[in-house]
Amino acid sequence: MKAEERTFVAIKPDGVKRGLIGRIIKRFEDKGFKIVGMKLLQVTPELAAKHYEEHIGKPFYNRLMYYITSGPIVAMVVEGYAAVESVRHIVGATDPCNADVGSIRADYAQVMEYNVIHASDSVASANREIDIYFKPEEIYDNWQSTLEKLVYDEERYKG
């Protein structure tokens, strides 16, 4: 686990249409995470199929394809200590009914079909999803966040 661990986050079309972009990004910034990649994009059916290939054949797959292509998303690469696990906690359980109080899905969503946000579930998934949505030159990490030195001890957690 590295201080510079990266994860992939997407504010889904319902989150964008409901005007939640700023409030959601704020949670990651408030935590001290560094956003090193971000863009608004329309997910094509091809891109959606690539992202969610593990769900092909599941009963909810067609609805998921419709949902994720129903408007633009905000795709992000979020960096920080244990980013994958930590961001998943901030996002909350897939089913908003079971999401911890204070998580994004607990606060803003009711059902799995419209759960507002996606976050990678492992480092391997994060790497795969970042590769799907971002070219290497679209990731900007050559700047220092003012929080970087305050939210974890660099010497202890690096490497």
Looking at the annotation, which residues are catalytic? 118
47 counts as binding ligand CMP under rule CB under 6 A = no
64 counts as binding ligand CMP under rule CB under 6 A = yes
Q: Which stretch binds ligand CMP (CB under 6 A): 35-43, 112-120, 127-135, 143-151?
A: 112-120
Q: Rounded to an integer, what distance in angstroms lies between the CA atom of residue 78 and that of residue 9? A: 7
Q: Which stretch binds ligand CMP (CB under 6 A): 32-40, 80-88, 113-121, 143-151?
A: 113-121
Q: Residue 38: beta bridge partners?
A: 76
Closer residue to ligand CMP (CB): 59 or 159 = 59
Say if CB 78 and CB 61 are below 8 A apart.
Answer: no
Residues that bind ligand CMP (CB under 6 A): 60, 64, 94, 112-113, 115, 118
